[in-house]
Amino acid sequence: MPGTTAIEAVGLRKSYGDLRVLDGIDLRVPRGTVFSLLGPNGAGKTTTVRVLATLTPPDGGRARVAGHDVVAERARVRRAISLTGQYAAVDDLQTGAENLRMMGRLSGLSRRDARRRATALLERFDLAHAADRPAGTYSGGMRRRLDLAAGLVGEPEVVFLDEPTTGLDPRSRQELWRVVRDLAEGGAAVFLTTQYLEEADRLADRVAVMDGGRVVAEGTAESLKSRVAGHRLDVVATDAAAYERLAAKAGTLTRAHAAPTADPGPRRSPESLTLGVPTDGGAPSVRALLDALDPDGTDVARFAVRTATLDDVFLALTGATTAKEPARA
């Protein structure tokens, strides 16, 4: 039922030798929602998915997926889930229809039911026109949709998508976004890991940010953005010397003019001579910041006030370096 818990994890821990990859992860994902897990490479995202999908046993803590314990009831969990990784796992020599019929038979469907399910999924994923073509002739976006369709043959309650749009062009990415929203609206829980922050912003009902094996923040995209900074004043310096002068002043000034945030420090981009300064977005605050940064009006070439993005959240809440996760199997 929509709203009931599809995934629940409490205190999940996982280490490889002396490397602690998960350090007490707590998560809860309701049915009928999209949950996105963000974090830099090595933060623990893929290991979290592997534990929840029963591919890797945890060292501690507990987790239930679709109502089943991931350790004691692995077979039941696997019957209730679908897992799609970064790379499409389809048979290039078989047609799209043959791929889906094969998955149906492996899932225990009769020949007739496997054929019906394949036809329905090809229509749903806009692949009917290519049903009889070898999958090896499909574009990247079509292969990704076919891979996702194959995972839905058994009508899973929980769908794990581990960076599913990696390498896709913008049009193919948007097509996959539509499919993800349709899955959630149909009652499935979608657990999405991604490094495309716009993707999480567009799709996720809730977002968790991981760093160093821990969840460092969780909430809606809007609540996380307001936690870091409601708005940001971006100033572009006239030259490198002006940028250094502006940067030297910014650290102390932002604390006086920014709204309360998790990270009130400036966002620096010396390559583009741009300095991002948190602000409450009000005209008095912006004017005061500009006057304090550039009282003579000679160092700032142009400026813009922007709403905070998940990029700001990511940069504020995650460290510059993290331990590297073991390679994917």
Q: What is the pLDDT of residues 220-261, one digit of tens each?
A: 888 887 776 567 788 999 999 999 988 888 876 655 544 444
* Listed residues 225, 253, 276: the one ending a domain: 225
In a domain, 129, yes or no: yes
In degrees rounded to 5, what are phi and psi of residue 280?
Answer: -80, -5
242 with 114, same domain: the answer is no
Considering its fold, how many domains does the chain have in total? 2
Question: Any idea what the CATH number is for the domain that residue 284 is in?
Answer: 3.30.70
Mean pLDDT over the full length of the chain: 85
Determine the Cα–Cα distance for residues 194 and 45; give it in Å rounded to an integer. Answer: 9
pLDDT recorded at residue 170: 82
Residue ranges of the chain with pLDDT lower than 50? 257-264, 320-329
167 with 272, same domain: the answer is no
pLDDT recorded at residue 213: 92
Helix, strand, coil percentages (3-state) for the chain, rounded to 5, are 40, 25, 35
Structural contact between residues 9 and 52, judged by C-beta atoms closer than 8 angstroms? yes
Determine the Cα–Cα distance for residues 45 and 12; give it in Å rounded to an integer. Answer: 12
- 164: buried, middle or exposed (CB in 10 Å: 19+, 13-18, 0-12)? buried
Determine the Cα–Cα distance for residues 309 and 315; give it in Å rounded to an integer. Answer: 10
- Whether the model clears a pTM of 0.85, i.e. scores above it, the answer is no
Measured at the CA of 108, the angle between CA 7 and CA 124, to 5 degrees, comes to: 65
In a domain, 124, yes or no: yes
76 with 37, same domain: the answer is yes
Residue 16 belongs to domain spanning: 5-225
Determine the Cα–Cα distance for residues 154 and 138; give it in Å rounded to an integer. Answer: 23
CB atoms near residue 199 (< 10 Å): 22
Structural contact between residues 89 and 135, judged by C-beta atoms closer than 8 angstroms? no
118 with 18, same domain: the answer is yes
41 with 175, same domain: the answer is yes
pLDDT recorded at residue 204: 92
pLDDT recorded at residue 225: 77
